[in-house]
Amino acid sequence: MSSEIVIVGGGAAGIAAASSLLRRHRHLDITIVDPADTHYYQPGWTLVGAGVFAPEFTARPMQDQIPAGVKWIKAAVTGFEPENDSVLLEGSRVIKYKYLIVSPGLKLNWAAVEGLQETLGKNGVTSNYRYDLAPYTWQLVQNLKSGRALFTQPPMPIKCAGAPQKAMYLSADYWRRKNCLSSVNIDYFTSGAVIFGVPDFVPALMEYIKLYNVNLQFGHTLKAVDGPARKAWIEKAGPEGPTTITTSFDMLHAVPPQVAPDFVRASFLVDQAGWVDVDKNSLRHKKYANIYSLGDVSSAPNAKTAAAARKQAPVVAHNLLSDMKVISGKAQYDGYGSCPLTVERGKIILAEFGYGGKVMQSFPPYIIDGTKPSRAAWILKESIMPYLYWNAMLKGREWLAKPKIFS
């Protein structure tokens, strides 16, 4: 088997890259390799966990998302042979390429937290990071009238770094509206040293931390869970080394550590941290000139969000076609990412930023001031973004995503 362009991964990044390529040149030989039957709109799972979306709203058949004219190999990748321009597939199959795009997303490492896998979806333990668990989050939130709710965030990098606290804010807002917030003790354990990595958005977030009376704990990492006993073990960083504390819970929203998929980490494509080693501007591999990577698996130091992939896909498409001498100029990715922080039902802080934490707002402040909670940002998240995802991003329509081209 062979294809001019092989894309590993049929998620947001892979399909957007394929569509952006076809928008620039209709007659390309493209193959997507992905074993999944279903394509998920993962940014919607936060709102599933808050009872805003039904889970089915975020899922569509994979076959319906593959762009017309693109071949789909429904198989798992087992490895890469970049020296031979080959991708290894399950069943000892091989597909050759002239150009390769690596975008399989990342792996949720549930096993890194002892006891977590065994208790997910029961015993009050949930996570909006899985399609099947987000509805359980909403069930737990509705049923909790008093007790202790724990929300955890692991060490970076993770996909959508704001998602762990989004779940907390929406849950707390529900309890506030039901007049039981005073009876619920909320703990937010984060491995980080700040509530959010871009300082401009921190003051508004801290107002909600105070409003919901959240016990904010920095330098704390979830290490183990005993679901039936409703206990969690948290490692606390300290100047003399880590210590472990034990806490009980009635509800635990857990987010696992996250790494590149095993077949990526075992390859020659990765840097020391295990991510596909690319130039952060061109998204071209640093060693193999005919390989690009985008989305969560890339080593580019941007936020791992769908919004980032939306901006990266046109850059990869342009640069790859420039390599093929189809078009001219080079495109550069500026690190753009977006994190719509759902601080209450009906209001969002639309955090948009690029490399170095530079604030990069898409709208004039009189429409949406991203440093403050707004109703307009909520409407964008709830009503407009899902439509744009399915009908623009995945179709190669680059609304507010066209890259700058340099000679």
Give the span between the Cα atoms of 154 and 381, in whole angstroms: 25
Q: Which two tokens stand for residue 334?
A: 């500026």
Nearest in space to 250 (alpha carbons), one of 180, 194, 195 = 180
> Residue 92: which pLDDT band, with cuts at 50, 70 and 90?
very high
* pLDDT for res 212: 98
The stretch 284-295 carries a mean pLDDT of 98
* pLDDT for res 307: 96
Q: Give the global pTM.
A: 0.96
Is the Cβ–Cβ distance between 165 and 255 less than 8 Å? no
Is the Cβ–Cβ distance between 186 and 210 less than 8 Å? no
- pLDDT tens-digit map of 52-67: 999 999 999 999 999 9
Average pLDDT score over the chain? 97
For domain 110-258, the CATH class is alpha beta
- Reduced to 3 states (helix: H, G, I; strand: E, B; else coil), residue 193 is coil
The stretch 273-286 carries a mean pLDDT of 98
Nearest in space to 378 (alpha carbons), one of 353, 342, 351, 352 = 342
* pLDDT for res 407: 81
Q: Residue length, the chain?
A: 407
- What CATH fold (topology level) applies to the domain 2-106+260-406? FAD/NAD(P)-binding domain (3.50.50)
- pLDDT tens-digit map of 117-142: 999 999 999 999 999 999 999 999 99
Question: Among all residues, which ones are annotated catalytic?
Answer: 160, 339
pLDDT at residue 251 greater than cutoff 90: yes
pLDDT at residue 12 greater than cutoff 90: yes
* pLDDT for res 192: 96
Tell me which of 95-99, 229-233, 301-305, 402-406 is least confident: 402-406
- pLDDT tens-digit map of 143-152: 999 999 999 9
The stretch 263-292 carries a mean pLDDT of 98
Q: Are domains 2-106+260-406 and 110-258 of this chain identical in fold? A: yes
The stretch 75-80 carries a mean pLDDT of 98
* pLDDT for res 400: 85
Give the span between the Cα atoms of 346 and 377, in whole angstroms: 9
Nearest in space to 112 (alpha carbons), one of 222, 188, 219 = 222
Give the span between the Cα atoms of 295 and 9, in whole angstroms: 10
The stretch 238-247 carries a mean pLDDT of 94
pLDDT at residue 320 greater than cutoff 90: yes
The CA-to-CA distance between both ends of the chain, in Å, stands at 36
Dihedral class, residue 202 (left if φ above 0, else alpha if ψ from -120 to 50, else beta): alpha
Cis? peptide before 261, omega within 30° of 0: no
- pLDDT tens-digit map of 360-393: 999 999 999 999 999 999 999 999 999 999 999 9
* pLDDT for res 314: 98
Cis? peptide before 157, omega within 30° of 0: yes
The stretch 275-285 carries a mean pLDDT of 98
Residues 6 or more apart whose Cβ sits within 8 Å of residue 314:
20, 331, 398, 401, 402, 403
Q: Where are the domains of the chain?
A: 2-106+260-406, 110-258
- pLDDT tens-digit map of 28-47: 999 999 999 999 999 999 99
